Amino acid sequence: MLMIPVKNLVLTLMASLLVITAPGAMAQTTEGVAALVNDQPITTVDVRNRMRLIIASTGLTQIDAATLAQIQGQAIRGLVDENLQLQAAREYEIAVTEEEIDQSIQDLADRNNTTIASIVGDLERSGVDIQTLRHQLEAEIAWQVLVNGRYGSRIRISDQQIEMALERLAASASQPQYRIFELFFEIPSVSREEETVQRVIAVMDQLQRGAPFPELARQYSDAPSAANGGDIGWIVASQLPPEVATIVPQLMQQYIQSQGGAALSNPVRVPGGFMIVALVAARDGTTTLQYDLVQITVPASAVQPNSSAALARALAENPTCSQAEAVASRIPGSVVTPLGAIGADALLPQISEALEPLREGGNTGVLQTAAGLQSLIVCDRTIAGPGVPSRDDLESQLRGQQLSLHSRRWLRDLRRDGTVEIRD
Query: Which run of H or E residues covers position 409?
Result: helix 391-417
How would residue 69 be classed by pLDDT, with cut points 50, 70 and 90?
A: confident
Question: What is the three-class DSSP state of 338?
Answer: strand
Least confident of 186-200, 215-229, 364-378: 215-229
146 and 209 in one domain?
Answer: no
pLDDT over threshold 90, residue 91: yes
117 CB neighbour count, 10 Å cutoff: 9
218 and 355 in one domain?
Answer: no
Q: Is the pTM of this model over 0.85?
A: no
Per the structure, the complete domain to which residue 270 belongs is given by: 174-286
First to last CA, the chain: 16
Please check whether residue 129 lies inside any domain of the structure: yes
pLDDT over threshold 80, residue 243: yes
Q: What percent of the chain has pLDDT over 70?
A: 89
Please check whether residue 411 lies inside any domain of the structure: no
Whole-number pLDDT of residue 191:
87
147 and 15 in one domain?
Answer: yes
- In tens, the pLDDT along 40-61 reads 999 999 999 999 988 887 777 6
d(CA 236, CA 214): 20
- In tens, the pLDDT along 313-363 reads 999 999 999 999 999 999 999 999 999 888 887 888 888 888 988 888 999
pLDDT over threshold 50, residue 375: yes
For residue 190, what is the DSSP state?
A: G
CATH of residue 179: 3.10.50.40
Please check whether residue 338 lies inside any domain of the structure: yes
Please check whether residue 166 lies inside any domain of the structure: no
275 and 186 in one domain?
Answer: yes
pLDDT over threshold 60, residue 258: yes
Please check whether residue 159 lies inside any domain of the structure: no
222 and 95 in one domain?
Answer: no
Question: Dihedrals φ, ψ of 139, to 5°?
Answer: -65, -40
> Buried (b) or exposed (e) across 206-234, using 16+ Cβ within 10 A?
bbeeebebbbbbbbbbbbbbbbbbbbbeb
| Winning range, highest mean pLDDT, from 17-31, 369-383, 396-410 | 369-383
266 and 329 in one domain?
Answer: no
pLDDT over threshold 70, residue 174: no
How would residue 171 be classed by pLDDT, with cut points 50, 70 and 90?
A: low
Please check whether residue 414 lies inside any domain of the structure: no
Total domains present in the chain: 3
> Buried (b) or exposed (e) across 24-34, using 16+ Cβ within 10 A?
eeeeeeeeeeb
325 and 266 in one domain?
Answer: no
Chain-centroid distance, C-alpha 416? 26
Of 261, 286, 311, the one marking the end of a domain is: 286
258 and 351 in one domain?
Answer: no
